[in-house]
Amino acid sequence: MENKEPKYHRSYQKLLGEINQDHKRRKPLFEELENQFDGKGVVSFFTSFRFPVLIDDSDPTMLEEVFQNTDLSKGLVLVIDSPGGDGLAAERIINVCRTYSNDNFEVVAPHMAKSAATMICMGANKIWMSPTSELGPIDPQVIAGDKRFSVHSIITSYQELFDQAVKAEGRIEPFLQQLSKYDAREIESYKAFQKLSKDIAKKSLKRGMMKEVEENEILNKIDIFLKAEETQVHGRPINYQQTREAGLNVELINNKSKLWHLLWDLYLRTHHIVTNQAGKIIESKTDVFLGRPNQ
């Protein structure tokens, strides 16, 4: 398996030579990180903060392909950096990770794991964070054109306009004109997505790091992750201390340690790819899968 050539997503064959060269530089980082994590298989999963892509249904399949070629007999450490995406895709990713690792599944958030990426972290047995790492509210996200929006912000803006129209005295045409830009059926779907995200988070935590906690108590503990208004804006960070106070099993990485320097090196090299070349990358010491920058 050590001599096996990396695989590539067909959409990015034109980048094969350049990415292949980069992979050769990153391969030793994966090998050293596996030693740091006591022989657990290390796989990275990054999606772009620049390009309009989301965690979606293609990602569990890509991860599963990499897992089939990775020794996970001692467990899995998933290094994840992503603005988020689809909650159902996150649930499938959790299932794939737990299945292939025989429920010995940990995640590392070296920089930012938001929305659905936070949900994936909740499905692990342990989350590794540095003092500067960020999780976020698990509110789903959608893409409109080349922009990414939180479902919470769309629902809130719609409801505020609706309430203003109801209370308005005299001409309400300006409010109706703005409301016409929304689809009431989509708003109801977004509300359903919010409920689904909450249910996925609860069940994922119950399966992993909160096995001994009652389901209703789980929701109380993770309140900061459920209410976007608690963090004021969707992208506001939830740090290590807040994650720990919410009852999640989180371990702080010393930012002067060898482990952190290896993780930060891997983060910088991989972040460069999803900022300049690809929308997504899933990688191990033997495999590389790339996603389009405009999926």
Domain ranges of the chain: 10-143+185-291
pLDDT value of position 148: 60
pLDDT value of position 162: 67
Residue 196 pLDDT level (bands cut at 50, 70, 90): confident
Q: pLDDT of 118-149, one tens digit each?
A: 999 999 999 999 999 999 988 766 666 566 66
Question: Is 14 or 192 the better-scoring residue by pLDDT?
Answer: 192
* Amino acid at position 64, single letter: E
Question: Is 148 or 200 the better-scoring residue by pLDDT?
Answer: 200
Q: What average pLDDT does range 186-195 have in this prediction? A: 72
Q: Which residues pair with 95 in a beta bridge?
A: none
| Cβ contact 283:2 at 8 Å | no
Residue 22 pLDDT level (bands cut at 50, 70, 90): confident
pLDDT value of position 142: 64
pLDDT-above-90 percentage for the chain: 59
Question: Can you spell out the DSSP letters for 55-80?
Answer: B-THHHHHHHHHHHTS--TT-EEEEE
- Separation CA 228–CA 135 (nearest Å): 12
The pTM of the full predicted model, rounded to 2 decimals, is: 0.82
| Cβ contact 94:101 at 8 Å | no
CATH of region 10-143+185-291: 3.90.226.10
- Per the structure block, which two tokens stand in for 160? 């505020």
Please check the confidence at residue 187 and state whether its pLDDT lies above 70: yes
How many other CB atoms sit within 10 Å of the CB of residue 257? 12
Q: Which residues pair with 10 in a beta bridge?
A: none
pLDDT value of position 205: 96
pLDDT value of position 6: 52
Question: Is 197 or 96 the better-scoring residue by pLDDT?
Answer: 96
Measured over the CA atoms of residue 264, residue 284, residue 85 and residue 109, the dihedral's sign is negative
**Chain centroid, CA 66 distance in Å:** 18
